[in-house]
Amino acid sequence: MTSLPRAITLAPQSQPRAPAVSRRGARRRARREKATAWAFIAPSVLVILGLGIVPVVWSLLLSFRADDLVTPGRWVGLDNYRALAQDPNFHTAVGNTLLYSALFVPLSLLGGLALALALNRRIRFIGLYRTLLFIPFVVSAAAQGVLFSFILDPEFGAANSLLHKFGISPQGFLTDPDQAMYLLVLISLWSGVGFCVVVYLAALQDVPRELVEAARIDGAGRWRVLRHITLPALTPVTVFLLLWQLITALQVFDLVYVTTKGGPLGSTTVIVYFVWQQAFQMFTAGYGAAAAYVLALALLVAGVALRVVRRRQGRVVEGALR
Partner 1 sequence: MSTRTMSNRTMGALKVSARGASWRRVSPWHLLLAPLALAFALPLVWLLLSSVMTNAEINRFPPALWPDGIDLGGYRYVLGNAMFPRWFANSLIVASVAVVSNLLLGSLGGYAFARMRFAGSRVLLGLMLATMVIPFQLTMIPTFLVMKWLGLIDTLGALIVPSLVTPFAVFLFRQFFLTLPREIEEAAWIDGCSRLRVLFSIVMPLARPALATVAVLTFLTTWNDLSWPLIAINHDTQYTLQLGLTTFQGQHHARWSAVMAGNVITVLPVLVAFLLAQKTFVQSLTSSGLKG
User: Which residues inside 56-115 make contact with partner 1, applying CB under 8 A?
Assistant: 56, 58-59, 62, 69, 115
Stretch near partner 1 under the rule CB under 8 A, chosen from 19-27, 74-82, 157-165, 174-182? 157-165
Q: What separation in angstroms does the CA of 226 have from each of 20, 119, 196, 214?
A: 63, 15, 18, 13
Q: Which stretch binds partner 1 (CB under 8 A): 4-12, 76-84, 97-105, 172-180?
A: 4-12
Q: Which of 22, 27, 54, 85 binds partner 1 (CB under 8 A)?
A: 54
Binding to partner 1 (CB under 8 A) within 206-235 occurs at 209, 212-213, 216, 222, 225-226, 230
Output the smallest distance, CB 9 to partner 1, in A: 8
Task: Give the contact letters, 171-190, x = binds to partner 1 (CB under 8 A), - = no.
Answer: -------------------x
Stretch 114-153 residues interacting with partner 1 (CB under 8 A):
115, 117-126, 128-129, 131-136, 138-143, 145-151, 153
CA 6 to chain centroid, in Å, comes to 49
The pair phi, psi for residue 169, each rounded to 5°, is: -65, 150
DSSP 52-116: THHHHHHHHHHHTEE--SSS--EE-TTHHHHHHHH-HHHHHHHHHHHHHHHHHHHHHHHHHHHHH
Note whether 108 and 194 are within 8 A (CB): no
- Part in contact with partner 1 (CB under 8 A); list of ranges 72-80, 101-109, 202-210, 305-313: 202-210
Cβ-based neighbours of 145, under 8 Å, separated by 6 or more: 187, 254, 255, 257, 258, 259
Binder of partner 1 out of 19, 52, 72, 77 (CB under 8 A):
52
Stretch that binds partner 1, among 20-28, 38-46, 89-97, 306-314 (CB under 8 A): 38-46
What CA–CA distances, in Å, run from 313 to 87, 242, 320?
39, 14, 10
CA atoms within 13 A on the CB side of 28: 12
CB of 307 to partner 1, least distance (A): 11
Length of the chain: 322
- Region 248-307 residues binding partner 1, contact defined as CB under 8 A: 250-251, 253-254, 257-258, 271-272, 275-276, 279-280, 285, 288-289, 292-293, 295-296, 299, 303
- Burial class from Cβ neighbours inside 10 Å (0-12, 13-18, 19+) for residue 104 reads buried
* Interacting residue with partner 1 among 17, 24, 165, 322 (CB under 8 A): 165
Question: How many residues bind to partner 1 according to rule CB under 8 A?
Answer: 116
Interaction between residue 168 and partner 1 (CB under 8 A): no
Select the residue interacting with partner 1 from 22, 27, 47, 227 (CB under 8 A): 47
Q: Cβ of residue 291: shortest distance to partner 1, in angstroms? A: 8
**Min. distance of Cβ 88 from partner 1 in angstroms?**
20
The CA distance from 102 to 246, in Å, is: 9
Listed in order, strand segments (DSSP E) in the chain are 65-66, 74-75
> Which of 26, 110, 158, 321 touches partner 1 by CB under 8 A?
158
